Every structure is written in structure tokens, then in C-alpha cells.
Amino acid sequence: MNYDASDIIIFGGAGDLALRKLLPALYRIYSEDSFSADHSSVILTCRSDEEADGLKDEIKKNLKLNLASGEFSDTAWESFASNVHSVVLNIAEHDEQWSSLAGYLDEHPDRVRVFYLAIPPAIYGACCENLSKQNLITENTRLVVEKPIGYDSESAVSINNKMAEYFREDQLYRIDHYLGKETVQNLLALRFNNLLFEQLWDAKSIDHVQISISETVGLEKRASFYDGAGAMRDMVQNHLLQLLCLIAMEPPHKLNASSIRQEKLKVLQSLRPLVDEEVSSNTVRGQYVAGEVGGELKSGYLEELGKPSSTTETFVAIRAQIDNWRWSKVPFYLRTGKRMNERSAEIVVQFKDVSHRLYPSDAGALQANKLVIRLQPDESMQLVLMSKNLQKLETELQPVTLNLNFADASKEFRSDAYKRLLLDVVAGNPSLFIHRDEVEEAWNWCDPIIAAWKTSNRQPHLYRSGSWGPDGSDELLAERGHQWFNLAEIDKAIS
Ligand code: BG6
């Protein structure tokens, strides 16, 4: 598919996000000819001449590191690089430097203009104001902003208000890159195109749901951002709550941005608030100490941070409840952590037991059905069912797994969330972006939890790098007779 001619301007063009995610995505777009090389350019803002001078080498190095093996080619690089330009700019100050950016853009005033703010939210406002002062906001302009929007509900409202002074809501694209993952979009396709799930997707049939994103990485040169944010602001407020919305939302009446967003918003509004002592009984925070991850010894959080103390959480587990008819009394367990045992993102839907046990107990223990949707690292879906062991004459019941591995079905397909989302911005399709109401509502739920942690002034529970988090996280589930289904353990059980 070919897209309209566009200028993509990345503020923070030499930063980590641009180098690791955005430029590889743009390189893919150019190499696949989705953008005509003659009609689209990428403009990167830099903080100094030195940064700008070395930028192309840095981009090339990072493309080689971040693209899949065999994906980089010198010919494609030459063509891509000829469309990449840099300008030196102090984003927060409106001075004569802005005119060189204007110089590029004014050559093609009718092109789609995408301003991507890969910069700290504290300067979003100043950046928008300067774009406006320089008259760079055209009818065809879109503004893309990264999560987390703000630090809490109050700062999110103020950032959203500030952006709204210069841009209409339909020009604003708030990114949560999880929504760009094909497997995440598949959640809606699975839920709303299969009678099986349509009929069973509620408190009558579902016992509980687990949504878990575990990472093996630690701070990755983001110490100053991360220590001020923690896992709650970095992952729960956005990625985990968005996944929760997709699992729990009612069917939208149409497959368009506003219907989907309305249904997601209702889920966020129905989340039972956790306040004061409910926070300590329904949440667990952790911080990693040294340990082995994938056979390598890794330092603890404080050593990585280079500080003697910090109460920032690198792990969170939460028992959430959605107070509506569909989900009454069904616990939704959310979990995320850094330096964990495996990199994985998965959703486990645990169904209830059958209403009546017909087979005698010596036929074996019954396991309730379970749907496991893995979003990464491999993309698959498993349905655990009870069956007879066909090798035996006597009746022996055993769990068996229907296994659908999406990676097998589409070996050639390389999913890249940022590529998908950037193309949607250029095409003007906001379905996979977040409305300001969702951002603010998500903060409304997170704020009291963060506040209660702060007031209690308790240290997060320590957990060993390479583990599945602190013991308290297992205890949180055990209180209701549940347990986490960890990727590695499920694999063992299935094989
Ligand atoms: C980002 C967080 O939004 O998502 C990072 O800021 C995290 O801390 C990353 O590592 C995880 O994304 P993915 O796609 O690798 O699961």
C-alpha cells in the first residue's frame, strides 16, 4: 500500500526511542516502498551540532543492531539515508533555530506532517507552543506523543489541556505501542469472531484472568526516567490497563476508533478503586536484587542505579476487580516486572470447573479449561481441555492442549508495532491510539495506589533477578486458591 506524501519530524531524534524503535520502523517502511522516497522525508531534531554530525553513523549502527538478521542492506540504507535530515534545535526555546525546521517544511506545505514527540512530557507544552509560533501546524498536521502522558492525573490533564490549545483531539495520536502489536489486535479478532468465546466470556464461566508482562532487561540507560516513574507508571498505567480493557470490554457497536475507545473507557471507569488499606491487601511491589538471568549474573537495581537507596518498584502485582454485570467478582491479576525469569507477555483466562463431576475420582483429577494467549516472545494460543487418555483401556482423564502457533502459520511475517502505528498516523487512522479520557481515567485508578505506597513508606519486597518476583506475588493469588501460570512452567506441564 502507498501512503500520502509526508514529513515525519521526530523531536528527540537522536534519543534512545528514535534510534532503537522509530528509525528501524521507518527504515522498514522505506524498504518496503510504502513511502515513496521522492515524496516523504524524516527530519530529526538534535541538541547540538556534534550530535547532528555523528547522527547518520549512529543510525546505521543502531539499525544493524535492532533490525532482524539479514534485514539491513547497504542499498536500502543509501536510499533511506538520503531522505533523513537533521536540524539542531532547542525544543523549549523559540529562537532563530526553528526557522531551519520551518525551511524544510515550508517547501511542501500540503504534505501530511507528523510531529513525533520522543521527548520528556515536561516539554510537550513548550514544543507545541513553538510549533504554533512558527506557524508549522497545518490542517494536515498530526502530533504523536509517547506514554506515559504525565506523572499522575493532574499532570496528564494539564498536558492534555496544553496540547488541546494547539491541536484538535483528532490530530492527537497518543501512542501505546502494545496496541500496535498484531497479537494484541488479535485479541479483539478472537473475542468478537468466535461464538465459543462470545458465549463463555463472563463471570458465569470465567474464574479469573491473569495479564502478565515480564521482562529480563533492567534499567537500560533510562535510570533517571525509571527511578522517578517505577513499574506502575511505566507499564501498568498504560500497557497492562490497555490489555485489560481489550479483554474485558463489551463488543463495540462498530469497529471504529470512537466505539472502541468508548468501550475501553467504560472498563476503566468500572475498575474498583483501591484506596488506603485495600492497596496493601491487593497489591505487591518489588525491587530486584542481583541474580542470574539467562545464565548471566546481573546486578541489583540499586547497583545499576548507583544510589544507596530507592523505594521505586521494578515489579508490581495487583488484584483488580471490575464492577459491572459481566465481571462481577472475577479477579483480574496484573503483573509486570523487570529482570524476571523470562521475557514474556501473556494472558491466561482460567475457566470455572464443570458444574458436575460425572467420572469417578479414580479416573484422575479434573482441571478446569484454560485459554493461554501469548503475545510475546512467540505468538500463540493454547486451549487446555480435559480428555481421555486414548492409550489406556480404563478411563483415565488427562489435560490436553490445543496449540495454535501463529509464528508457524506466518513465518515471513515480521511484526513491528511502531511501523504499524506510524503508518496509521500517516493514514489518519486513530483506532489504535488512546483518547485523552482513557489516559486520565487510567491515572485516576493508579493515583491512589501510588499515593498509598508513598504514605506507607515501605520498602518494596526484594526479589532475586531471574526469579518470578517476590513471594508476596504468589501469596496474593494463593489467598484465593490461584497461582500464576508462568511461561516456562506451562511449557513443562504441556510437554
Ligand atoms: C515501554 C517501557 O513502554 O515498554 C519499557 O517504557 C519496557 O520499560 C517496554 O521495557 C516493553 O516493551 P516490549 O514491546 O519490549 O514488551
List pLDDT tens digits, range 413-425.
Answer: 667 899 999 999 9
Options 3.40.50.300, 3.40.920.10, 3.40.250.10, 3.30.360.10; CATH for 179-414+435-494 is: 3.30.360.10
Candidate from 147, 184, 215, 301 with most ligand 1 atoms within 8 A of CB, to mutate: 215
How are beta strands 370-376 and 380-388 bridged, if at all?
A: antiparallel
Band of residue 491 on the pLDDT scale cut at 50, 70, 90: low
pLDDT at 238 over 60: yes
**Extents of the domains making up the chain:** 6-146, 179-414+435-494
Cα–Cα distance measured from residue 439 to residue 224, given in angstroms and rounded to the nearest whole number = 23
Cα–Cα distance measured from residue 105 to residue 141, given in angstroms and rounded to the nearest whole number = 11
Average pLDDT over residues 250-279: 95
Cα–Cα distance measured from residue 90 to residue 98, given in angstroms and rounded to the nearest whole number = 8
- Return the H-helix or E-strand segment holding 260: helix 257-270
Say if ligand 1 is within 6 A of residue 7 CB. no
How far is ligand 1, taken at its centre, from the CA of residue 274, in Å? 25
> How much is the mean pLDDT over the chain?
93
How far is ligand 1, taken at its centre, from the CA of residue 427, in Å? 25
DSSP conformation class of 313: -
CB-count burial class (<10 Å; 0-12, 13-18, 19+) for 48: exposed
List pLDDT tens digits, range 291-313.
Answer: 999 999 999 999 999 999 999 99
Average pLDDT over residues 334-358: 96
Q: Which amino acid is it at 493?
A: A
Q: Which fold does the domain 6-146 belong to in CATH?
A: Rossmann fold (3.40.50)
Specify the ligand 1 atom closest to the Cα of 146: 3
Residue nearest to atom 2 of ligand 1 (CA): 234
Q: Is 239 a catalytic residue?
A: yes
pLDDT, residue 203, reads 98
pTM score: 0.94
How far is ligand 1, taken at its centre, from the CA of residue 213, in Å? 9
Residue nearest to atom 6 of ligand 1 (CA): 234
List pLDDT tens digits, range 98-156.
Answer: 999 999 999 999 999 999 999 988 899 999 999 999 999 999 999 999 998 999 999 99
Say if ligand 1 is within 6 A of residue 234 CB. yes
How far is ligand 1, taken at its centre, from the CA of residue 484, in Å? 21
Q: Are 18 and 63 in contact (CB under 8 A)?
A: no
Say if ligand 1 is within 6 A of residue 215 CB. yes
